[in-house]
Amino acid sequence: MDVSDEFDGGMEPTDDLASFEVVNLSNPGLLDLSADDDGHVQETKDKAKLKTKLISAWNNVRYRGWSLKSKPRLSKSSPVCLLGQFYQLSYSGERESFRRAFSSLLWMTYRKGFPPLDGSGLTSDAGWGCMLRSAQMLLAQGLMLHMMPAGWTWPATHHQTKDDLEVLDAHMLDDSFRESRSDSGKPRRRSLGTTLDSETHEEQIHRRIVSWFGDLPSAPFSLHRLVELGKASGKRAGDWYGPAIAAHILQKAVAASEVSDLAVYVAQDCTVYVGDVLNLCGTSRTNLLAKCWSGWKSLVLLVPVRLGSDVLNPAYIRCVKRLLELRCCVGIIGGKPKHSLFFVGFQDDQLIYLDPHYCQTAVDAQLDNFPLTSFHCKTVRKMPFNRMDPSCTVGFYAGSRADFQTLCSDVTKALTSSEEKYPIFTFVEGRNDEERTYFTCLVLSTLSSLIHVKKTAILACQGELGCFVCPKHVGGWDEFGEQVAKQISMDVFGVTLMIADSEALGQARGADVTL
């Protein structure tokens, strides 16, 4: 992936914010610069590390992941937005705050060497699992907001020095500072232990959240678990997962997990039904404003949308920016076609993202003090808005009933402030059941016109995902027609379309709607 985009020559000098590094001499993944009495042993270690890095680099280039080109650069003249918080990089304190916030985000990437995925024998998701990894990052951000104190940052980021960050312009360094560096013979670096002698309560929660995403069948949000849940949507290990299907998988994963005070709602037909959300979170409209309600669950709201046909409609760019500016936004699952990324912010006309296309060795998250370094990214990456795939899922978090009310107001304002005449999604009162019949007819009409089916019978089935079942015997359902219809149904409406035989239809529950 080309991430070495250059800014126009007329812009002010830029700082490279991709160069910072947390140095940990006790971490075997980083080079130990301490003296070694046995030169041969040190040489053997260096060769082994070099071999590992070369293999990792080849895997990352092979799967169109991280580029070996120059690092992306962020301008000091424009503010950077990171999940609702703005940072002015021309000030050193703001730069430091941005680094801490960015490197505290949880980073999920390709892994290798984990237990085989059930039914496939695959021990790596390199080349196909990027959408599920992006979905993990979105859910992880929601869990961090749900369980960690507001404004929390990973303590490991607090030990960085200006030498590690390498962002100061040469003319800003005074002579004494340059002399002190030249006399030392090598850059100053501060050592950082793998764990503190006694982890704080916050760090224990942080480690617990990360462990839920470990690559083990028993972890509630692991790749193994998500793949298993994806089977209900006809997906299996090695398949491509779209952003809408990924959203529904997250919904089922949270519902089956130990996180009982959190619920996930997935919008249908680009519509958030407030009544359904209130019912899901354990309260009704009448006590929405009540001061105390012990049964309320916090909410992760996922909205699958399509921002254009084949490419992103430029009219939606401002709307995407406004959504990322909201404090309640937990990111966007998107990317490029067949190449998922997790968008967390922007600067000017460049999206900032976390990239899952980096193959790392699986970490045993069952260990008491498993290393956390590989779950945090130290590299800021960006891409132009016009390269964003139009199919994506936007995520939001509301910790309380009042937060949800604020979310509805703020998101609606952001959506209606766009240049686009019609918002990309809406909030409506009531419940989805009230409009199910009309929606079914709408889907039928659209699909019929697109695949030239004159008469189609369809069955609206109730289920956790919700699906439409169409009889296979009607005219026009050749192999290509089925694929097109299924893709349109999922991408446009966020609903699974199942093609079934007449006998299967007779056994299904629901009401027939015939056009």
As annotated, the active-site residues are 130, 355, 357
Beta partners for 458?
513
Q: How far apart are CA 176 and CA 160, in angstroms?
A: 21
Distance between first and last Cα of the chain: 47
CA distances from residue 165 to 21, 499, 513 in whole angstroms, order as listed: 7, 55, 62
CB 467 within 8 A of CB 461: yes
Residues in the chain: 515
SS3 243: helix
Q: How far apart are CA 102 and CA 376, in angstroms?
A: 9
The residues, ordered by sequence, that sit 6+ positions from 360 with a Cβ below 8 Å of its Cβ are 56, 109, 110, 111, 112, 374
| CB hemisphere CA count around 59 (13 angstroms) | 21
Q: How far apart are CA 481 and CA 465, in angstroms?
A: 23
CA distances from residue 272 to 335, 396, 430 in whole angstroms, order as listed: 23, 12, 10
CB 16 within 8 A of CB 73: yes
